[in-house]
Amino acid sequence: MSRVSVNARDDPVTVYWRPGCPYCFFLRFKLRRFGISVREVNIWEDPTGAVVVREIAGGSETVPTVTVGDVAMVNPSARRVVDELVRVAPELVGGSSATRSGRPRSPWRARRPW
């Protein structure tokens, strides 16, 4: 994971993708099915998005690339994205509640999207 400068409250989750990428399709599908609102950026149509992906992925255009708050992930699982979103903005993840330790609980165990 790397850190990027992103305002977590404006667009907490951004998925950079490209047409024809099966990994992008399944990640976006799983996040939608789980009810996670995401900003989607097609790097073939948005040159700025392609630049962001190259910066995060060390020069390559590896997708899906996802930012959650200020954390960037290259080809993450839907679970990893949801877990990071729970950490950054638990109020945006339905069904999350605090555990005895006071940390937000990941909704992943409570309800699987597939």
- The reported pLDDT for the residue numbered 10 is 56
Residue 54 parent element (H or E): helix 47-56
User: Domain ranges in the chain?
Assistant: 2-92
Tokens matching residue 98: 């605090």
Give bridge partners of residue 65 from the DSSP assignment: 16, 74
Q: Would the pTM of this model clear 0.85, i.e. be above it?
A: no
CATH of 2-92, one of 3.30.1240.10, 2.40.128.280, 3.40.30.10, 3.40.470.10: 3.40.30.10
> For residue 51, what pLDDT is reported?
97
CA gap 74, 61 in Å, rounded: 10
The confidence score (pLDDT) of residue 17 equals 97
In this predicted model, what pLDDT tens digit does every residue of 35-75 receive, in sequence order?
A: 888 999 999 999 999 999 999 999 999 999 999 988 999 99
Query: Where in the chain does DSSP place strands (E)?
Result: 2-3, 13-17, 39-42, 65-68, 71-74
- Residue 81: the pLDDT is 94
Rg of the chain over all Cα atoms, to the nearest angstrom: 14
- Mean pLDDT over residues 93-112, rounded? 51
Whole-number average pLDDT of the chain:
81
How many contiguous H segments (helices) and E segments (strands) does the chain have? 3, 5
pLDDT at residue 20 tops 50? yes
CB atoms closer than 10 angstroms to residue 90: 16
The per-residue pLDDT for 26 is 96
